[in-house]
């Protein structure tokens, strides 16, 4: 430590500090005052003052954390004078000298810059960080007088801007440490904040009273001889009144020999003399300072120093931070504080009335009740920094449901209005804080009742420019206050005028949050305020007109607002305006191009139909929808309004079924003829529609909506689809016609229609599938004739199976398309059920099976010329060709796997999809193979062993690593399918089928090789072109890989090449 005094060894000072700090940490915080005094005695001049400040921070950082708080408090007496010197003494002067010395003092500036450049410690002060550490680990609030002693001593000099900035920085450092102190007592800290704020506010009030007093006081300032202390510690010097700190010995209240903790009148009045016992009387303390004594001392202006607003701001900031912490506790703050009944301990009578126990606790609640009127008084402070903090504290306190707000409503309302009048704009921070406070008071305190004039001022000030772009938190505050004002229902013309503006902003506002807030406020206004029938209809007409707003975001918000209106209005009002709202909502449902708008219109219709269900108005609405279902038809062109109305009516019936199935059942039954007509018009087997072309199926939405209606009706009100005939005797609208038309749409061109039809047929099979299987089994056994079993049900399983295979075949061939995954999944379910039932009830193979398969085999042969070397369809086509060459009609046990399987068209076409399909089609074919094998089991394969090879073929091809072009997910599905097949059939049958499949694939590959060699001999020119094309593809692929590798490395070529290009 002695060597740190030598200036030549300054570069080694940082290297010695790591030796001193661990040693001090080992001694502990109890020895810290001794170490500090030793450092202060050794590092006492020049550059060493900077070293002292940095070393002091290092010692405090090492010793204080984790130490006993009492030891940290005891060390303050030795540490605080050094911190005071570091901030206000020679070290601070040296750090700031370059900023205020005149520029002609070049030598001084150079010396200062040399010092600052040579010593890292001279560049900045660590005093504030040290102060934060001490406040974090000392006893609080007991240590606050010592921590704040540099501030309280210099309050008279705080009028100077430089001193004020330093004092504010020290107060912020102390506040930060106190808030991070885990051992700080919240109740004692609140009491201290209350006391400091009360002193500052009382002083300001007395100053205001004195300034309002018209009497003149005799002023004798400056009459005393030079150097003699006068009132306020001001002396006359060179014609100026200067503010100086008291010299040692000049003021008996400042005892420099005892350190900075003994100071001014204010601290002695607040905390007593140093020789007084601070312990409470119940702990044996002998302190005699009473509340009356402190109040008497606080009534004197001389006991509260000037510039005391600094400490008031500090106390309010500390109070606000504590309140925010308490608001986050369970049951404190928020919309409803959880309260439980409690009984005072001294109430022995069980019949005594109970009070509500606050989650704050009785002691803390009592303190906060005393802070509320004090914060209200602080709103009148003349200091600019105090009212905003007081407003924020009151906003936090207002969420805790304190009873003292009820007794301060009048003064509080007047002060808030006065502060708002002083704000230039509604988006200023102070005005936003005032609006938040008003919002909390209006929502949580019924006794807070502003006058009509005050309400009028609030409306004009806060809601005058709702279209202005505010920040999100400001927008939330304004509209939350609007909802609170509307809940109080002040009958003012300004409210009605404002809501007319809000009605337009529901769709016109730029921000989505603003539109939603306006919609909520409008709904609340329409519900709570007295409105005549004419005014209410005017608002509803404006809302309905906004359904056609040019921008989709505005239309969505208007539709959602209409939904809320219908959901929350009284039933009689909804019935009176139901038809008026029903028509534009149905129009939006069928004509809007935005999906979100259609969804919002559907939700509004669902609420409207649910509210009106069971009454005459609801039946009238459903009757309208039923009649609209009958319009249009006959192949109307695209854009026909009648066709759109027809689709919207079917959607409306579907929404009505979902909202109230029992009441919508009759309407669906009445519209069944229209539903069947819509389905039959789009049957692909009837005729080709003139409006359709190769890419578009015109008006496919009509049959799609009809299928969705059938699906919902079958799920929620199946009685609406039951019965052979309608009430009018129309056989075309029978139940069988609905399912037969739905089955026909499985082959529609649009995948959405296919999916809807697949779901409808799936629902029908889930209900009637067992009966259909039983009827086919009886037909196989000869119990019924073929015709009786075939026409007993409206759907045909073989027709369903062929349609399902056609859906999967969309993903095969040159014009393959991606099949929707959900469509593929539903198709697999239907196809699995149909195939299992057909196989279980199948008779021996008849001749007509071969006739039905000729067209499919010719199509497969035509595709052989288009396949190349890596085409996966080759294996499937080879298998089909070999099957065609087999003419055997009987099999034995040894060659059963080589015989023709039942339903050969099914396995051949699905095998083609599994071998050469893309995307969801191939995955669906493989999953169908596994599902069929699991459903048949060993018994099913024993009955039909010939289906094993065709079932194995697509899975074996996709699982073979030699086959290229198979996606990893398809290969994984194929391997899983092989495991299912291995477990579903007997081991011997699986082995023979697998061997036959592998041999078929190998033979086809050999045939292709021979055909290629023969082509090279017969047509060498064609073979040469093929080789050239193949080589060009390989070269292009190689170049592409090289370019990708260079791009990944960030290089565009060699250095020599780049040099040549330059």
* Longest pairwise C-alpha distance within the chain: 140
Top mean-pLDDT range of 96-105, 296-305, 387-396, 837-846 = 387-396
Residue 469: the pLDDT is 56
The torsion of the CA quartet 795, 800, 801, 803, rounded to 10 degrees, works out to 160
Instruction: State whether residue 273 is helix, strand or coil.
Output: coil
Statement: residue 402 has pLDDT above 70? yes
Residue 533: the pLDDT is 87
Q: CB under 8 Å to 233, separation ≥6 — which residues?
A: 156, 243, 244, 245, 246, 251
Which CATH number is 618-768 given? Answer: 1.25.10
Residue 273: the pLDDT is 45
Higher pLDDT, 95 or 319: 319
**Peptide linkage before 512 cis (omega within 30 of 0):** no
Instruction: Quickly tell me which residue has 């060709």 as its tokens.
Output: 881
> Mind listing the pLDDT tens digit for each residue in 716-732?
999 988 765 444 445 45
Strand partners, 355: 342
d(CA 951, CA 967): 20
**pLDDT-derived band at 41, boundaries 50, 70, 90:** confident
Residue 546: the pLDDT is 92
Strand partners, 242: 235
CB 192 within 8 A of CB 315: yes
When mean pLDDT is compared across 17-26, 224-233, 838-847, 883-892, the lowest value belongs to 883-892
Statement: residue 858 has pLDDT above 60? no
Per-residue pLDDT, averaged over 122-141, amounts to 83
Q: CB under 8 Å to 932, separation ≥6 — which residues?
A: 832, 835, 836, 951
Per-residue pLDDT, averaged over 1028-1052, amounts to 80
434-468 per-residue burial string, b: 16 or more CB within 10 A, e: under 16: bbbbbbbbbbbbeebebeeebbbbbbebbbeebee
d(CA 188, CA 889): 103
Per-residue pLDDT, averaged over 51-75, amounts to 82
Q: CB under 8 Å to 979, separation ≥6 — which residues?
A: none
Per-residue pLDDT, averaged over 128-147, amounts to 87
Give the 3-state secondary structure percentages of the chain, helix then strand then coil, rounded to 5: 70, 0, 30
Statement: residue 346 has pLDDT above 50? no
Q: What is the SS3 assignment for 971-999?
A: HHHHHHHHHHHHHHCCHHHHHHHHHHHHH
Q: What is the pTM of this model?
A: 0.71
> Mind listing the pLDDT tens digit for each residue in 580-635?
999 999 999 988 899 999 999 999 999 999 999 988 999 999 999 999 998 865 54
Residue 330: the pLDDT is 53
Q: Is 632 exposed, middle or buried (0-12, 13-18, 19+ CB in 10 A)?
A: buried
Top mean-pLDDT range of 357-366, 498-507, 834-843 = 498-507
Statement: residue 257 has pLDDT above 50? no
Higher pLDDT, 55 or 438: 438
d(CA 943, CA 225): 130
> Mind listing the pLDDT tens digit for each residue in 78-126?
888 888 887 887 666 666 654 444 444 445 555 555 555 555 655 677 8
Higher pLDDT, 1003 or 426: 1003
**pLDDT-derived band at 50, boundaries 50, 70, 90:** low
Per-residue pLDDT, averaged over 369-386, amounts to 91
Instruction: State whether residue 236 is helix, strand or coil.
Output: strand
CA distances to 14, 276, 294, 304, 517 from 268, in Å: 41, 11, 10, 11, 55
CB 524 within 8 A of CB 487: yes
When mean pLDDT is compared across 302-316, 910-924, 945-959, the lowest value belongs to 302-316
Statement: residue 246 has pLDDT above 60? no
Statement: residue 274 has pLDDT above 50? no
Residue 1056: the pLDDT is 52
Closest CA to 144 of 75, 186, 192: 192
Statement: residue 156 has pLDDT above 70? yes
Residue 692: the pLDDT is 56
CB 287 within 8 A of CB 294: no
Higher pLDDT, 908 or 260: 908
Statement: residue 5 has pLDDT above 60? no
Higher pLDDT, 298 or 164: 164
Q: Where are the domains of the chain?
A: 1-138, 545-612, 618-768, 796-856+898-1018
Per-residue pLDDT, averaged over 636-648, amounts to 74
Residue 95: the pLDDT is 62
Q: What is the CA radius of gyration of the chain?
A: 46
CA 470, 471, 473: angle at the middle one, nearest 5? 120
When mean pLDDT is compared across 168-172, 396-400, 778-782, the lowest value belongs to 778-782
Residue 111: the pLDDT is 57
Residue 553: the pLDDT is 92
Statement: residue 352 has pLDDT above 90? no
Residue 611: the pLDDT is 92
**pLDDT-derived band at 560, boundaries 50, 70, 90:** very high
- Please give the mean pLDDT across all residues of the chain: 77
Per-residue pLDDT, averaged over 199-212, amounts to 85
Q: CB under 8 Å to 335, separation ≥6 — which residues?
A: 443, 444
Higher pLDDT, 792 or 767: 767
**pLDDT-derived band at 192, boundaries 50, 70, 90:** confident
How many C-beta atoms lie closer than 10 Å to residue 639's C-beta? 8
Residue 886: the pLDDT is 42
Per-residue pLDDT, averaged over 809-837, amounts to 92
Per-residue pLDDT, averaged over 785-795, amounts to 64
Statement: residue 684 has pLDDT above 90? no
């Amino acid at each position: 430590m002695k060597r740190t005094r030598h200036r030549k060894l300054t570069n080694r000072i940082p290297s010695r500090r790591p030796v001193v700090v661990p040693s001090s940490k080992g001694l502990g915080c109890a020895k810290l005052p001794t170490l500090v005094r030793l450092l202060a005695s050794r590092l006492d001049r020049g550059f060493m003052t900077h070293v002292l400040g940095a070393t002091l921070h290092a010692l405090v950082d090492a010793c204080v954390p984790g130490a006993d708080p009492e030891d940290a408090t005891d060390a303050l007496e030795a540490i605080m004078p050094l911190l005071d010197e570091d901030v206000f003494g020679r070290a601070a002067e040296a750090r700031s000298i370059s900023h205020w010395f005149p520029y002609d003092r070049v030598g001084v500036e150079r010396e200062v810059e040399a010092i600052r450049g040579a010593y890292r410690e001279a560049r900045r002060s660590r005093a504030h960080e040290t102060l934060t550490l001490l406040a974090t680990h000392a006893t609080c609030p007991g240590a606050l007088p010592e921590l704040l002693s540099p501030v309280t001593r210099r309050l008279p000099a705080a009028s100077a801007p430089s001193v004020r900035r330093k004092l504010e920085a020290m107060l912020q450092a102390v506040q930060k440490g106190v808030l991070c102190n885990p051992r700080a007592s919240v109740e004692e800290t609140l009491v201290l904040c209350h006391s400091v704020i009360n002193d500052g506010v009382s002083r300001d009030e007395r100053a205001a009273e004195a300034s309002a007093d018209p009497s003149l006081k005799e002023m004798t300032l400056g009459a005393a001889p030079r150097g003699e202390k006068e009132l306020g510690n001001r002396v006359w010097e060179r014609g100026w009144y200067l503010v100086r700190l008291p010299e040692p010995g000049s003021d008996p209240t400042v005892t420099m020999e005892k350190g900075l903790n003994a100071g001014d009148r204010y601290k002695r009045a607040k905390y007593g003399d140093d020789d007084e016992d601070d312990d409470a009387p119940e702990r044996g303390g002998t302190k005699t300072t009473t509340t009356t004594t402190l109040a008497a001392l606080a009534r004197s202006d001389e006991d509260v120093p000037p510039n005391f607003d600094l400490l008031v701001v500090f106390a309010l900031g500390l109070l606000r931070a504590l309140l925010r912490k308490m608001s986050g506790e369970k049951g404190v703050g928020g919309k409803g504080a959880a309260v439980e009944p409690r009984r005072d301990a001294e109430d022995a009578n069980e019949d005594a009335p109970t009070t509500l126990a606050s989650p704050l606790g009785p002691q803390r609640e009592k303190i906060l009740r005393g802070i509320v009127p004090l914060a209200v008084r602080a709103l009148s402070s003349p200091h600019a920094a105090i009212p905003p903090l007081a407003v924020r504290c009151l906003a936090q306190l207002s969420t805790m449901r304190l009873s003292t707000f009820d007794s301060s409503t009048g003064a509080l309302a007047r002060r808030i209005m006065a502060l708002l009048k002083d704000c230039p704009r509604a988006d200023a921070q102070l005005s936003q804080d005032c609006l938040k406070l008003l919002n909390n008071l209006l929502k949580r305190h019924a006794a807070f009742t502003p006058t009509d004039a005050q309400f009028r001022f609030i409306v004009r000030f806060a809601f005058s420019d709702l279209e202005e772009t505010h920040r999100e938190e400001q927008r939330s505050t304004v509209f939350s206050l609007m909802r609170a004002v509307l809940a109080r229902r002040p009958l003012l013309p300004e409210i009605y005028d404002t809501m007319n503006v809000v009605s337009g902003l529901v769709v016109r506002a730029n921000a989505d949050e603003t539109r939603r807030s306006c919609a909520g406020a409008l709904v609340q206004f329409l519900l709570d305020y007295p409105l005549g029938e004419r005014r209410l209809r005017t608002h509803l007409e404006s809302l309905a007109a906004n359904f056609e707003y040019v921008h989709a975001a505005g239309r969505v918000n208007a539709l959602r607002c209409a939904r809320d209106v219908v959901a929350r209005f009284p039933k009689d009002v909804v019935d009176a305006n139901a038809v008026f709202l029903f028509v534009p909502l149905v129009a939006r449902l069928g004509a809007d191009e935005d999906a979100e708008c259609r969804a919002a219109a559907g939700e509004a219709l669902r609420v409207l139909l649910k509210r009106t269900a069971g009454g005459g108005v609801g039946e009238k609405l459903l009757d309208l929808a039923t009649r609209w279902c009958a319009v249009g038809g006959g192949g109307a062109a695209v854009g026909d309004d009648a066709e759109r109305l027809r689709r919207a009516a079917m959607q409306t019936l579907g929404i009505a079924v979902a909202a109230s199935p029992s009441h919508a059942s009759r309407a669906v039954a009445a519209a069944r003829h229209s539903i069947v007509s819509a389905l039959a018009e789009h049957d692909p087997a009837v005729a080709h529609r003139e409006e359709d072309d190769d890419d578009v199926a015109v008006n496919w939405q009509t049959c799609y909506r009809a299928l969705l209606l059938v699906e919902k009706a079958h799920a929620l009100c199946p009685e609406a689809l039951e019965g052979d005939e309608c009430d009018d005797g129309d056989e075309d609208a029978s139940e069988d016609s609905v399912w037969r038309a739905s089955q026909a749409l499985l082959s529609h061109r649009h995948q959405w229609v296919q999916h809807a039809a697949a779901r409808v047929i799936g629902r029908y099979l889930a209900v009637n599938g067992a009966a259909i299987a039983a009827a086919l089994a009886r037909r196989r056994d000869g119990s019924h004739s073929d015709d009786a079993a075939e026409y007993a049900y409206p759907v045909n399983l073989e027709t369903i199976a062929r349609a399902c295979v056609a859906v999967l075949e969309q993903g095969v061939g040159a014009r393959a398309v991606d099949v929707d995954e959900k469509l593929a999944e539903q198709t697999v379910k239907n196809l699995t059920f149909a195939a299992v039932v057909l196989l279980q009830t199948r008779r021996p193979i008849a001749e007509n099976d071969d006739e039905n398969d000729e067209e499919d085999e010719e199509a497969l042969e035509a595709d052989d010329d288009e396949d190349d070397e890596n085409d996966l369809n080759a294996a499937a086509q080879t298998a089909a060709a070999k099957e065609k060459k087999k003419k055997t009609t009987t099999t034995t046990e040894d060659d059963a796997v080589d015989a023709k399987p039942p339903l050969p068209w099914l396995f051949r076409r699905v095998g083609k999809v599994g071998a050469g399909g893309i995307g969801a089609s191939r995955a669906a074919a493989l999953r169908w193979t596994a599902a069929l094998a699991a459903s048949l089991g060993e018994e099913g394969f024993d009955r039909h062993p010939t289906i094993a090879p065709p079932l194995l073929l697509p899975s074996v091809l996709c699982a073979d690593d030699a086959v290229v072009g198979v996606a990893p997910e398809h290969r994984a599905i194929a391997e899983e399918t092989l495991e299912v097949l291995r477990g579903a059939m007997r081991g011997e049958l699986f082995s023979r089928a697998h061997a036959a499949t592998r041999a078929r694939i190998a033979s086809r590959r050999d045939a292709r090789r021979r055909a290629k060699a023969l082509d090279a001999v017969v047509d060498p020119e064609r073979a040469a072109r093929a080789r050239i094309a193949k080589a060009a593809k390989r070269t292009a692929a190689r170049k592409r890989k090289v370019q990708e590798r260079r791009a990944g490395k960030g290089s565009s070529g060699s250095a020599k090449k780049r040099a040549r290009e330059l």
